[in-house]
Amino acid sequence: MCGIIGYVGGRDVPSVLLGGLWRLEYRGYDSSGIAVISNSELVVRKVPGKLSELEELIKRKHVSGTIGIGHTRWATHGLPQENNTHPLVDCNEEIALVVNGIIENYLALKDELEAKGHIFRSLTDSEVIVHLIEENRSRGLAEAVKLAVKKLTGNFAFAVISINDRNKLVCARHDAPLICCYNSKEAAVASDISGVISIFDEVIYIPNDSIVVLQKGKCIITNFQGRTIKAPVHQVTIDVQDIDKGRFPHFMLKEIYEQPKVLHSIVSERIAGDGIRLGSELGISDAELKKVSRIVIQACGTSWHAGLIGKYIIEKFARIHTEVDISSEFRYRDAVFDSDTLVMAISQSGETADTIAGLREAKVKFLKALSLVNVLQSSIHRESDGIIEIMAGPEIGVASTKAYTAEIVNLHFLALYLGLLRGFVSRADLAEHLAALEELPGQVEQVIKLDSEIREIAKIFCNSRDFLFLGRGLNYATALEGALKLKEISYINATGYAAGEMKHGPIAMIDNKMPIVCVNPRTSVYEKMLNNIQEAVARKGIPISIVTRGDRRTRGISAYSVSIPECHECVSPVLSVIPLQLLAYHIATLKGLDVDRPRNLAKSVTVE
């Protein structure tokens, strides 16, 4: 979950590395550092804390050179303190290394290396790599890396430089993302395109289990056995502006506000005349889809919440038994499948370690895997039989917002597509749903206009210690997602619950200080939810309700309410979640918290 970058070329190396690290910072931000080869000497600058502190340090103690590597860390092994901060160096301070991943056998390797006299300075698992490379340094950097990777188990992507091979950036990847770029004047490597976006317009997604030697005008890729591999060059399609905050104070707010635009492009892309187009990379024929008897969705966090909505709508429209599993449970569950089971991973990043492992579990069992993925060419994209592109555009804010609503809308299209194929959705049903989906972006825009109203509610509750979020049916997932958004960026204890379950335990928590966010748009479970709100009111809880415009009954029993437009039940989770995203955002900013860098988190969870 760390961000890595390396550069060789004529630009100011520390500036290139820092620029890249700023854009990779979402991957981890508890410490950072760079190493540059300057006049045949390896110079390392690193600091625990924010990237701005590294920037300050580099301003104070400038270093110049033509090759360097950089790192922004999300700590797994060892506290975020200077000795554990990357770049890590070998005993003689001639080789520097930056790593993203986990080395599972590091303790055994460390014992071996210490017995040979290597001195370890950090508590990280990664440091073994630089000492393994040091062991074979006389054979040249590329060969030493090749010998080192053979000894590693776990997942990793790393870049290394050495004063004895000072024009080369050598990198390796196994089950962790890495890209590289090069032209006649310069070359770079990074965890993802955002690290190098301002410099290159072509990119190579480094194939798994390969080693890359990068120089100006040269890029040699070999597999771990040493055989040369050809990897396609892709055009960089994202723009610097896509990963810039623009006029917004935070990425999270920018991404909340982008939702009408994102949903509009998805709806325009997916509606083809009076039918549905799921994209050119579906990878599974209609005949195969017709045969599917069971769908297992597996995902983590917010994407898992989208999966819960997927289950409701796939079962409703396509009458296919659908299960939703948390990937970290699914991968170890030894689930029962039959040959007509379709496994679906849902992932914004496409790099979530548990979700990738779940996908591989399915492949080992020869099941078809169709994934919903936002980042193209990510591991989940490459390893699935087919994908539906989420089309949310780059999501930088650590708290997922636009990817969530985009996932729901894509699942809606998939459910309708399957329903049509299997004869459970008529042309008239389809027309009704497509009309609801076409109307959705405009309705989302109307909800976003309630921003200042929601901020006023946030002011009242920003010092609350606990929150309860309740919902039913499709909006049970909305309650879970609202609670997750609040706790991850405001650190307030927030519990999401199916409202009907409340009386089986959580009702005991309710007192006259407890804000209870009640998601009750007009749906088939409206009356049931209304009863649950009454039960909360009878225990003196403070309901803050999400209601359909004109709903006087829910408003009447709520202390505060936010009205969303009248809509089809199936799109209600999209409209209901927007006020909850904004509520979480405002509560966190009113508390003075950094919503784009919540403590202990990182955007892309590439470790188990």
Catalytic (active-site) positions: 2, 603
Q: By C-beta, is 106 or 304 nearer to ligand F6R?
A: 304
Residue 92 beta carbon to ligand F6R: minimum distance, rounded to whole angstroms:
39
Residue 220 beta carbon to ligand F6R: minimum distance, rounded to whole angstroms:
31
Sign of the Cα pseudo-torsion (537, 542, 547, 553, in order): positive
Residue 374 beta carbon to ligand F6R: minimum distance, rounded to whole angstroms:
7
How many residues belong to the site for ligand F6R (CB under 6 A)?
14
Per CB under 6 A, 303 contacts ligand F6R: yes
Among 258, 488, 551, 596, binds ligand F6R (CB under 6 A): 488
Are 203 and 164 in contact by the 8 Å Cβ rule? The answer is no
Distance separating alpha carbons of residues 365 and 153, to the nearest angstrom: 23
Distance separating alpha carbons of residues 47 and 53, to the nearest angstrom: 7
Contact positions with ligand F6R (CB under 6 A) in 448-477: none
Are 569 and 519 in contact by the 8 Å Cβ rule? The answer is no
Per CB under 6 A, 302 contacts ligand F6R: yes
Question: In the numeric block, which tokens belong to residue 235?
Answer: 């055009």
Q: By C-beta, is 200 or 476 nearer to ligand F6R?
A: 476
Q: By C-beta, is 84 or 490 nearer to ligand F6R?
A: 490
- Kindly report the backbone phi and psi dihedral angles of residue 209, in degrees, each rounded to the nearest multiple of 5, phi listed first: 55, 50
Q: Name the region of 301 (left: φ>0; alpha: ψ -120 to 50; beta: rest).
A: left
Q: By C-beta, is 194 or 302 nearer to ligand F6R?
A: 302
Among 23, 605, 606, 607, binds ligand F6R (CB under 6 A): 605
Q: By C-beta, is 416 or 484 nearer to ligand F6R?
A: 484
Candidates 75, 72, 382, 19; CA nearest to 194 is 19
Question: In the numeric block, which tokens belong to residue 142?
Answer: 């590329």
Say which residues have a Cβ less than 8 Å from residue 157's Cβ, sequence separation at least 6: 4, 99, 100, 101, 171, 172, 173, 174, 176, 177, 178, 191
Residue 176 beta carbon to ligand F6R: minimum distance, rounded to whole angstroms:
14
Cβ-based burial of 239 (10 A; exposed 0-12, middle 13-18, buried ≥19): exposed
Among 371, 384, 400, 545, binds ligand F6R (CB under 6 A): 400
Cβ-based burial of 540 (10 A; exposed 0-12, middle 13-18, buried ≥19): exposed
Segment contacting ligand F6R (CB under 6 A): 234-242, 268-276, 349-357, 420-428?
A: 349-357
Residue nearest to ligand F6R (CB): 301
Residue 436 beta carbon to ligand F6R: minimum distance, rounded to whole angstroms:
25
Contact positions with ligand F6R (CB under 6 A) in 216-235: none
Among 103, 132, 300, 498, binds ligand F6R (CB under 6 A): 300
Per CB under 6 A, 348 contacts ligand F6R: yes
Per CB under 6 A, 342 contacts ligand F6R: no
Cβ-based burial of 220 (10 A; exposed 0-12, middle 13-18, buried ≥19): middle
Beta-carbon neighbour count of residue 341 at 10 Å? 19
Per CB under 6 A, 355 contacts ligand F6R: yes
Where along the sequence are the contacts to ligand F6R (CB under 6 A)?
A: 300-303, 347-349, 352, 355, 399-400, 484, 488, 605
